[in-house]
Amino acid sequence: MKPKVIVIGGGLGGLSAAIRLAVAGFEVQLYERNAGLGGKMNQRRLGAYLFDTGPTLLTMPFVLDELFAVAGFDRQLLLPLTRLAPLCRYFFADGSRLDAHADEARMLAALKDFAPGETESYRRFIQYSARIYQRASEVFLFTPLHEFRKVLRPHFWPSLWHLAQIDPLRSMHRAVDRHFTDPRLVQLFDRYATYNGSDPYQAPATLNIIAYVEHVLGGYYINGGMYRLVEVLREIASKLGVGLHSGRPVKKIVHDGRKVLGVELEDKSESADYVLCNADVVETFNTLIEGFARRRAALNRLEPSLSGMVFLWGISLPLQELEQHNVFFSADYQSEFNCLVHERRAPDDPTVYVAISAKADAGHAPSGGSNCFVMVNMPYLQEENQWQIAKVRAAVLRRLRKGGLDLEAHIEYEEIITPDDFYGMYRTNRGGIYGIASNDRSTAFKRPPNRSRDLRRLYFAGGSSHPGGGIPLVLLSGKMAAELITEEADNC
């Protein structure tokens, strides 16, 4: 009889793990509380406008290729990708703009016009971020970091020996500032801290690995829309025999104090040999697991990541001055993060991100229109939220006007997603989008592991567990959790 695994949550981490476990011969039943799978990777339609409401960019596509290969499917056939060029168009508060490229020659040419004295600085910065990737990725991205029997294998000794080269002791901002003299480029590369919901003025410089991932390995768009990834993974999981149950929330993880026994649903209890939880780890201990008060308290002391406010705007303009990905920077980045992280309030002058998938898929908007996914960073939820939707909306429109984009009169459809909504829909820790913030030099070691230290046969995958948030890392978390379950089952 095949061992049975119950997967809680149908986000990318849960789907990745479920597929791998099914291939390994487990019986897999996946329960998702919402009506559809995908977690924060979701989709909305407003009139003739179609929006991806979660990630808008894919990096490290080789992670996806490996998952498809394990499952026996051709990723290129089922899920074609387009390499982005440019990666992003940046609008600065002084009125200047820059198109960033993953192609080095095109990026250097753009910098020659934008900031002529910074081309060599850019080369040195990319070499520096490449060293971080080479030293850190094997241990911190591709290995379950908390499994010391794996990390201490001779294969990893060279990486461990050179850990000082991942620049963990100074802040991300300080490292970037040492490379560039043009404050606009400092702001551009500081921005990558927000990819995991952190503050560049506090987060370790190790996060400069993100610049290498995007500027060298490249950024990609999934043809047909980012949600196609969820649709295809759902099809693969179903073909492999995974039981997919949407609209079926798990009420409790059942255990005997030492190991998990199964889960409790609204209408029944279901036993399992293993439970793989794709829900937020902090919320899991707060709401799904009884007991373990010390673990719950320790998890709640960890700083949640930033949240966000999203405006889905159907705009009756082609917006030819914009690319598929655009950033309108605030005039004072440090002040913006002081508001977000220290004062815990929405900044008066936010940096605004605008993605328009209709630039790649014309069917996502009517002719002459644009489907604008507009996002600003927000503090995580607290007892008294110091923000108002109308005030944030006005600040967003004001920043866009300063960048030459007057949209308000052209908004045909609108939907707003707030930090409260992120918590309500996805039960993320205090509405944070990216799990645990990296505003601490030791966060990588504090991030919840893929194998529970409190209950045997309980495992975790998703952006709140190792190695963190973002499409490739979440997929990798599912891989790590599935492999750990497989190893335990083989040793039983």
Amino acid 440: pLDDT = 85
Of the three residues 377, 401, 426, the one that is the final residue of a domain is 426
CATH number assigned to the domain comprising residue 244? 3.50.50.60
Are 480 and 399 in a shared domain? no
Residue 189 within any structural domain of the chain: no
* Residue 287: inside a domain: yes
pLDDT value at position 152? 59
127 within a domain of the structure (yes/no) = no
Contact present, 376 and 387 (Cβ < 8 Å)? no
Cα–Cα dist 89/194, whole Å: 17
Same domain membership, residue 313 and residue 422: yes
Last residue of a domain, one of 382, 397, 426: 426
In a domain, 3, yes or no: yes
Instruction: Please count the structural domains in the chain.
Output: 2
Contact 307, 321 (CB under 8 A): no
**403 and 318 in a common domain:** yes
Is 285 domain-assigned? yes
This prediction has a pTM of: 0.95
pLDDT in tens, 155-167: 555 665 566 678 8
The residue ranges of the chain whose pLDDT is under 70 are 1, 145, 148-164, 384-387, 444
Q: Which residue stretches of 24-117 are H helix? A: 61-71, 75-78, 104-114
Distances (CA, A) of 22 to 144, 242, 458: 20, 7, 17
Please classify residue 422 by burial: count the beta carbons closer than 10 Å to its beta carbon, then call 0-12 exposed, 13-18 middle and 19+ buried: buried
412 and 345 co-located in one domain: yes
Q: Are 293 and 339 in the same domain?
A: no
Q: Where are the alpha helices (DSSP H) in 26-115?
A: 61-71, 75-78, 104-114
Cβ neighbours around 201 below 10 Å, total: 18
In single-letter form, the type of residue at position 485 comes to I
Do 491 and 384 have their domain in common?
no
> Do the domain assignments include residue 267?
yes
Of 393, 426, 459, the one marking the end of a domain is 426
422 with 312, same domain: the answer is yes
Residue 419: its pLDDT value, please?
95
Is 311 in the same domain as 422? yes
- The helix/strand/coil state of 413 is strand
Q: What is the pLDDT of residue 195?
A: 95
- What's residue 154's pLDDT? 63
Q: Which residues pair with 424 in a beta bridge?
A: none
Contacts of 490 (CB under 8 A, 6+ apart): none
In sequence order, the 6+-apart residues with CB closer than 8 A to the CB of 383 are: none
- Domain contains 150: no
Instruction: Give the range of the structural domain holding residue 244, as residue numbers without chain letter.
Output: 1-41+226-302+441-492
**Contact between 432 and 380 (Cβ < 8 Å):** yes
Q: b/e per residue, 83-109, with b = 16+ CB within 10 A? A: ebebbbbbbbbeeebbbbbbbeeebee
Q: Do 312 and 422 fall into the same domain?
A: yes
Does residue 419 sit in the same domain as residue 341? yes
pLDDT value of position 492? 76
Residues 372 and 479 grouped into a single domain: no
Within a domain: 262 = yes
Q: How many residues are given for the chain?
A: 492
Query: What does DSSP assign to residue 284?
Result: I
Burial readout 167-182 (b: 16 or more C-beta within 10 A, e: otherwise):
bbeebbbebbbebbee
Same-domain status, 312 and 294 = no
Distance of CA 152 to the CA centre of its chain: 28
Element of type H or E holding 400: helix 389-402
